[in-house]
Structure 1
Amino acid sequence: MNTVPAVAALDGRPVSDPASLVDVDVPVPQLRPHDLLVEVRAVSVNPVDVKVRAGLGPQAEPKVLGWDAAGVVRAVGGAVEGLSPGDEVWYAGDLTRPGSNTALQAVDARIASRKPASLSFAEAAALPLTTITAWEALFDRLRLTEDSEGTLAVLAGAGGVGSIMIQLARVRTRLRVLGSAGKPESVQWVRDLGAHDVIDHRDLAASVRAVEPGGVDYLFTPNTQGNVETFAEVVKPFGQVVGIDDPHGLDLMPLKAKSIAWHWEFMFTRSMFSTPDLAEQGRLLAATADLVDAGRVRTTLTTTIEDFSAAGLREAHRLVETGRTVGKVVVTR
């Protein structure tokens, strides 16, 4: 077997175009020393998938997207430790390498771990990218610990990152957690995940004042554009904000008077730059798997598409592009 089926993008066509994602055959990946060869069983679609697909120019070769996966190890590189053929794993991959929308994927073992035994492949595939993003934002950027107190506002609390961040903050800190939501089903989702209170991103300042008159100590945002002045209003002096989006012409001066710190979180930084602590991503996924299997963290899967093809993935991209999904959309083989 020299090739395997995959789903790829050829350019930046809108998802309504049947040629925006197409079924292709790609070469079986060659393993690097630290690589796993994984038979992919399920993937989830994240905003990064949509963003990369929409931003593509014409491609000389098909570009396989996908940065969340759960599957079974079929082979390992010579430097791999702790994982073997037959192991069930989960991971979020590497932006610089071919993605998970394929039958067989090569991924660095140091950014993967055994998947939670209590979850199906679909349930597991919903979590890695958002878990890494939320974990790094909370515990690497904001440097929160199990003894941390105060109040955290999680904007887009019903989204992929927000859904796992609320849970991790509840089980690994002493913070009071506020999750933002608008629709009734989103409000219920955020409450069910463990948020102490729900705030409304459509009137953030008033809704925060209603439950935390003194403001919040920490704020997570996936949507910064046009909101910095509001963040300056609701975050306490010496508070901290962590963002994951790409706002154009960002002006942080409104934060200066309160000495509010700003952090960026980008979960691909470690893999893109081969940082010395690359294996931290595998370790945090393993720690999260333990939390899941102990019943302290749950999957954020809400929609499953049982069609691992270009048509199935186009539907998943369409749903994510609406910006109105609750939880995560997963495509299974």
Structure 2
Amino acid sequence: MRAVGLKRYLPIEHEESFLDVELEKPKPVGRDLLVKVMAVSVNPVDTKQRAPKDDVEEEPRVLGWDASGIVEAVGEDCIDFRVGDEVYYAGSITRSGSYSEYQLVDERIVGQKPRTLDFAKAAALPLTTITAWEGLFERLAIDPAQREQNKDKHLLIIGGAGGVGSIAIQLAKWAGLKVTATASREETSTWVRKLGADAVVNHHHSLEEQLSEEVDYIFCLSNTDQHWDAMATIIKPQGKICSIVENKDPLDLNVLKSKSATFVWEFMFTRAMYETSDMRKQQELLNQVSHLIEEGHLQTTLTETLHPIEAKTIKQAHQMVESGSMIGKVVVDGF
């Protein structure tokens, strides 16, 4: 099968940062699905995994953790999917990725693709949707069923125009919250307002000075170190902070003590990486999101589409993500 892989970890501009390769088509066993990949999305985790280092792979390594496609075959223990089903998923960081014609993925982290979306629009969603859903409704413990009570709750999303922020704004508004999102450019401010943000502040300026009140929840999607002190100041007593961005410097948790405030990490690969007992929750949430999209409550966050899936276009997509100026998501579709 055709795939896009790497053997060395090189700057994206290097001619061998990605290679077009031929690999053996895998066979599903157990609860694995063999999916014929129709479209893939590129996320910051892809660029971090490819970041330059001295490691050399004996066999080409295939990256990619967002895909949509068609079930080609199923393992003997599969119970949720059949051959021909259209699916979308984010896969596991411990397994071979989605930059390939066919991919194996555990059915417990796979959802039924929204019927109203094509493969490219669907591929833009899984990783960011799982991250946003888990961050809001599990780590921050916001109950989306309590929409009336949530109207009195205020959420700050730091980094609102990126992939996770773009879906988090929509999910938070569906759950009834007041949402303030950060954006620093006119086009990103317009984008987050279009998605439903009630207010916009600039994360390059003092958040404390721009916000008129403390907030109940903070979802940090950009530079935890930079915003740590500000978050500690603007979180309400007994409020909750969740971040998806690893810190470089030690975080002083003492600044949260007097407020009895909560800080928690969100890493959407945790369930698949450790095969947790509740791993199937990712399938369930992806299926629920499919229904929300089909009912018009949510929209895809796709903003750029490249074609076809090959080393050249994967390189281009990585360059776009690494630029730090992406709005929404970039997808590469079709072999």
Q: TM-score range by the shorter chain?
A: over 0.9
Gaps of 5+ in 2: none
2:141 is matched with 143
User: 1:69–1:128: 8 Å Cα contact kept in structure 2?
Assistant: yes
Structure 1 stretches of 4+ moved >4 Å: none
- Measured in 2, the distance between the counterparts of 1:331 and 1:238 equals 43
Partner of 1:298: 299
> In the aligned structure 2, how far is the partner of 1:280 from the partner of 1:150?
26
Q: Which amino acid aligns with 1:231?
A: M
Quote the residue 1:242 is aligned against.
242
State the SS of the aligned residue for 2:73.
strand
> Do 2:35 and 2:102's aligned partners in 1 also have CA atoms closer than 8 Å?
yes
User: Partners of 1:316 and 1:205 in 2: how far apart?
Assistant: 31
Q: Are positions 1:169 and 2:172 aligned together? A: yes
Percent identity over paired residues:
44
**Does the Cα contact within 8 Å between 1:153 and 1:177 map onto a contact in 2?**
yes
Q: Structure 1: which 5+ residue stretches go unaligned?
A: none
2:317 is paired with a residue of what secondary structure? helix
Q: Which amino acid aligns with 1:90?
A: Y
**2:272: which partner in 1?**
271
Alignment-derived partner of residue 79 in structure 1: 77
Matches within 5 A, 1:90-101: 90-101=88-99
Q: Give the CA deviation at 1:238.
A: 1.3
Contact kept in structure 1, 2:181 and 2:197, CA below 8 Å: yes
The farther-off stretch of 92-101 and 25-34 is 25-34
1:1-333 to 2 correspondences below 5 Å: 4-54=1-51, 56=53, 57-145=55-143, 146-147=145-146, 148=150, 149-171=152-174, 173-206=175-208, 208-209=210-211, 213-222=212-221, 223-252=223-252, 253-333=254-334
Q: Deviations over 1:77-134 (max 9, x none)?
A: 1111121111110000000100000000010111001100000100000000000000
In terms of mean alpha carbon deviation, does 261-270 or 196-205 score higher? 196-205
Q: Which amino acid aligns with 1:264?
A: W
Contact 1:208 1:234 in 2 (8 A): no
Answer yes or no: is the 8 Å Cα contact 1:123–1:301 preserved in 2.
Answer: yes
Cα distance between partner residues in 2 of 1:151 and 1:280: 26
**What is the Cα deviation at residue 206 of structure 1?**
4.3
CA offset at residue 254 of structure 1? 2.3
Q: Distance in 2 between matches of 1:64 and 1:234?
A: 42
CA distance in structure 2 between the aligned counterparts of 1:127 and 1:174, rounded to whole angstroms: 21
Shift of 1:142: 0.9
Q: Deviations over 1:18-41 (max 9, x none)?
A: 100111111111312101110000
TM-score by length of 2: 0.95
Give CA deviations for 1:130-166 in whole Å, capped at 9, x if unaligned: 0000000011111111223410001110000000000
**Which residue type is aligned with residue 183 of structure 2?**
A
CA gap of 1:220–1:48, structure 2 versus 1, over 3 A, is same
Decide whether the 8 Å contact of 2:161 with 2:327 is kept in 1: yes
Question: 3-state SS of the aligned residue for 1:201?
Answer: coil
Q: Indicate the SS of the match to 1:187.
A: helix
Alignment partners' CA distance in 2, 1:183 and 1:30: 47
Which one is further off, 68-77 or 197-206?
197-206
Q: CA deviation at 1:12?
A: 1.4
Report the TM-score, using the length of structure 1 for normalisation.
Answer: 0.95
Q: Secondary structure at the match of 1:61?
A: strand
Distance in 2, matches of 1:100 and 1:273, equals 20
Q: How far apart are 1:208 and its partner, in Å?
A: 4.0
Matched residues in 2 for 1:41 and 1:66: separation?
13
Q: Is the 8 A contact 1:243 1:265 kept in 2?
A: yes
What is the CA-CA distance between 1:233 and the residue it aligns to? 1.4
In the alignment, residue 187 of structure 2 is paired with which amino acid?
E
Rounded Cα–Cα distance in structure 1 between residues aligned with 2:19 and 2:206 = 41
- What CA RMSD, in Å, does the superposition of the two structures yield over aligned residues? 1.2
C-alpha distance 218-69 of structure 1, shift in aligned 2 (>3 A):
same
Report the residue type matching 1:293 in the other structure: E
Distance across 1 between alignment mates of 2:209 and 2:106: 43
